[in-house]
Amino acid sequence: MDVTKTKKVYVETYGCQMNVADTEVVLSVVNAVGYLPTNEAAEADLILVNTCSVRDNAEQRAQKRVSELKEHKRRNPDVVIGVLGCMAERLRTVLVEKNNLVDIVVGPDEYRRLPKLIEDAKAGERGIAVKLSRVENYDDITPLRTEGISAWLSVMRGCDKFCTFCVVPFTRGRERSRSLKSVVDEVALLSRQGFKEVTLLGQNVNSYNDGGADFADLLRAVAETDSAMRIRFTTSHPQDMSDKLIETIAAHRNICKYIHLPVQSGSNRILKLMNRTYTIEQYLGLMDRIKRAIPEASFSTDIIAGFPTESPEDHRMTMEIIKEVRYDGAYMFKYSPRENTKAFEMGADVAEELKTERLNEIIELQNGIAFDINQQLIGTDVEVLVERDSSRSTEDLLGRTDTNKKTVFPRGNAAVGELRRVRIDRANAQTLFGTLLPGTN
Ligand code: SAH
Ligand code: SF4
Ligand code: F3S
């Protein structure tokens, strides 16, 4: 055994799945210089917070956690504390100036420099590494995945869409794709390691491009690497969702029939101001094409309430699109002004109380729809991939259907990693509850 591997690293991760995947890259990079992961901040030599900037409350939460974690450094000055991710990229030196005890600030494209920055920090130097890259995609680094049967796999980084409300193009830089071969090789490795599900990640996976191979080509190659492995992907941008991609999803049993397709608003005027590059008519046309090709597909979306200048009529149109599409699920947010974005310059913010009111209406409507959709499943049999113990009871297991519905059932003879059939007995807007049906597979 390598006796130098006694140092411990503790990481907290906020934000999207790309950050979760990046944390696994970071763990791999610091593991190479002797740090083993721990779940206890108190026993860590290195404490990292991987942050999100997408909304103000995400940043507030991260700031608060960084302040709290500094307590460990007060107790033991040898501890190195670092802020990683999108907030590191956005706030840079401000973070170090404000947070006297933060040693290193590292943006999403600079994780290879962590070992050096950590060494320098130990010698008393503060380090800031926030250059964005046009090429970095960490495709030669095997992420250190610590648990579960389901893996995240980044296939592209950055975003070139520049939606006017969004910081991601500024915190993550330009779009770049990993090679198809490196993705397929990693999926083959995951399969050998016993993973049962992989989610291909990118801010905008539909823009994937490796010398002419597009996202549909990648998805097909991945699906054919192990036909027993479930394949998911997120996020799709409506503008680039091609018919070829829809056909590819329809044609492969192991590509999950669940599509996250953020609409953001139901008003063409607002969509234009957001620079989303599609109209509601185009979005609905796309939905129709998907539903025709994949009738069993389930859908989720992202919605922003209270974008600058949003009128009662614009809001009503958002409510309409939710009713029209009938999403299985949605991530719903109050618009949060982000400095340096175009929307920030628009001013004309909707009053806070009005944003809250509109968001609550949207949530209530959407929950009602999700509840109704799930009620339809009562009495039917679904196939679930068993993921883990249910958080509510150790007697129960939790799995997900192909359509991404969480399903809880008494464990019986089922084991994590198996595909099992479950009869649905009851359901709420978020979760299905059922009975395990006989069979080992
Ligand atoms: N790339 C993905 C999502 C990126 S961020 C996409 O384009 O769909 C995830 C979601 O956060 C967005 O879809 C949007 O709904 C929301 N979001 C981004 N910036 C926001 C802001 N300034 N205020 C509120 N919500 C925001
Ligand atoms: Fe942000 Fe738009 Fe890019 Fe999504 S597509 S990450 S919302 S700029
Ligand atoms: Fe947040 Fe950065 Fe993801 S801003 S949503 S962690 S890309």
Rg (the chain; Cα; Å)? 22
Ligand nearest to the CA of 302: 1
Quick one: what percent of the chain has pLDDT higher than 90?
90
Is residue 254 within 8 Å of 231, Cβ to Cβ?
yes
* Ligand 1 near 307 CB (within 6 A): no
Given a cut of 80, is residue 80 above it in pLDDT? yes
Per-residue pLDDT of 327-379, as tens digits, reads 999 999 999 999 999 999 998 789 999 999 999 999 999 999 999 999 999 99
Ligand 1 pocket test, candidate residues 19, 54, 203, 215, most atoms within 8 A of CB: 54
Locate the ligand 1 atom nearest the alpha carbon of residue 204 and give its number. 1
Q: Please name the residue whose Cα sits nearest to atom 1 of ligand 3.
A: 52
Report the alpha-carbon distance of residue 372 to residue 367 in Å, rounded: 9
Centre of ligand 3 to C-alpha 16, Å, is 5
Over residues 412-428, the pLDDT tens digits come to 999 999 999 999 999 99
User: What amino acid is encoded at 186 in this protein?
Assistant: E
Atom number in ligand 2 closest to CA 237: 5
Taking the centre of ligand 2 as the mean of its atom positions, its distance from the CA of residue 420, in whole angstroms, is 36
Mean pLDDT of the chain: 94
What is the Cα–Cα distance from 21 to 8, expressed in whole angstroms? 20
Tell me, what amino acid is at 89? E
CA distances from 82 to 40, 61, 72, 88, 392 (A): 16, 16, 13, 9, 34
Q: What lines the ligand 3 site, CB under 6 Å?
A: 15-16, 18-19, 52-54, 85-86, 167-168, 171-172
Q: Give CATH 2.40.50.140 domain extents, the chain.
A: 381-436
Structure token digits, residue 39: 């779940």
Nearest ligand to the CA atom of 169: 2
Q: State in words which class domain 7-129 has.
A: alpha beta
161 lines ligand 2 (CB under 6 A): yes
At 307, is the pLDDT very low, low, confident or very high (cuts 50, 70, 90)? very high
Instruction: Return d(Cα 219, Cα 238) in angstroms, integer.
Output: 17
Index of the ligand 1 atom closest to the CA of residue 337: 22
Ligand 1 pocket check for 336: Cβ under 6 Å? yes
SS3 category, 348: coil
What is the Å distance from ligand 3's center to 52 Cα?
5
Q: Which token pair is 292?
A: 């025709």
Strand, helix or coil for residue 90: helix
For CATH 3.40.50.12160, list the domain ranges present in the chain. 7-129
- Cα(235) to ligand 2 centroid in Å equals 9
Q: Give the number of the atom of ligand 1 that is nearest the alpha carbon of residue 331.
A: 15
- pLDDT tens sequence across 178-227: 999 999 999 999 999 999 999 999 999 999 999 999 999 999 999 999 99
Interval between CA 167 and ligand 3 midpoint (Å): 8
Tell me what the mean pLDDT of segment 390-412 comes to. Answer: 94
Banded model confidence at residue 308, pLDDT cuts 50, 70, 90: very high
For the ranges 12-26, 83-97, 265-279, the lowest mean pLDDT is seen at 83-97
Is the CB of residue 157 below 6 angstroms from any atom belonging to ligand 1?
no
Ligand 2 atom at shortest distance from the alpha carbon of 159? 3
Global pTM value: 0.95
Confidence at 97, pLDDT banded by 50, 70, 90: confident
First to last CA, the chain: 38
Q: Do 396 and 410 form a contact (C-beta atoms < 8 A)?
A: yes
How confident is the model at residue 240, as a pLDDT?
Answer: 87
Asked if 187 contacts 224 with a C-beta cutoff of 8 angstroms, the reply is no
Other C-beta atoms lying within 10 Å of the C-beta of residue 230: 21
Q: What CATH fold (topology level) applies to the domain 381-436?
A: OB fold (Dihydrolipoamide Acetyltransferase, E2P) (2.40.50)
Dihedral, 325, 319, 202, 102 alpha carbons, nearest 10: -160
Distance 172 CA to ligand 3 centre (A): 8
What 3-state DSSP class applies to 10?
strand
- Ligand 2 atom with the smallest distance to the CA of 167 is 1
What is the DSSP pairing of strand 431-436 with strand 406-410?
parallel
Distance between Cα 113 and ligand 2 center (Å)? 27
User: Quick one: pLDDT band at residue 1, thresholds 50, 70, 90?
Assistant: very low
Distance CA(321)–CA(303), nearest Å, equals 10
Query: Is any atom of ligand 1 closer than 6 Å to the C-beta of 264?
Result: yes
